C-alpha cells in the first residue's frame, strides 16, 4: 500500500469516529450529553450557546475531512482496482 493511501485511510477512520462522537454530543431538546456537560460547567445560557457553536464547528470540520478523504480515496482507487 502506498503511504499516501494509509494516511487518507487513517484520516477517514478518525474523522468518522469523530463524527459519531460529536453528533451524539449534540443536544436535541436539552437532554443531550452536551447539555448535561454544559449545565454542570456553566449556569447561564450564554455558556451553552458558545459550547454548541464550537461543537457545530468541530462537527462540520470532521465532516469536511471525512468527505475529502473519501473523495481522494475514490480517485486513487476507482471501483475494482484494489489489488494485493
The pLDDT assigned to 11 comes to: 95
Is residue 29 within 8 A of residue 73, CB to CB? The reply is: no
> Is 21 domain-assigned?
yes
Over its C-alpha atoms, the chain yields an Rg (Å, rounded) of 17
Q: In terms of Cα–Cα distance, which of 59, 67, 48 is closest to 18?
A: 59
Query: What is the DSSP-derived secondary structure letter of residue 80?
Result: T
Give tens-digit pLDDT for 22-76. 998 876 665 656 656 666 555 555 556 888 889 999 999 999 999 999 999 999 8
Structural domain that includes position 56: 3-75
Tell the residue number behind the cell numbers 485511510, with chain if given: 9
All three cell numbers of 37, joined, read: 456537560
Residue 80 lies in a domain: no
Q: Give how many domains the chain has, as a whole number.
A: 1
84: in domain: no
- Does some domain include residue 81? no
Query: Which helix or strand (DSSP H or E) is residue 40 part of?
Result: helix 33-41
Amino acid at each position: 500500500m502506498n503511504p499516501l493511501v494509509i494516511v487518507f485511510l487513517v484520516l477517514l477512520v478518525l474523522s468518522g469516529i469523530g463524527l459519531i462522537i460529536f453528533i451524539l454530543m449534540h443536544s436535541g431538546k436539552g437532554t443531550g450529553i452536551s447539555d448535561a456537560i454544559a449545565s454542570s460547567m456553566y449556569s447561564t445560557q450564554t455558556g451553552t450557546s458558545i459550547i454548541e457553536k464550537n461543537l457545530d464547528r468541530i462537527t462540520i470540520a470532521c465532516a469536511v475531512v471525512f468527505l475529502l478523504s473519501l473523495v481522494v480515496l475514490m480517485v486513487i482507487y476507482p471501483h475494482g482496482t484494489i489489488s494485493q
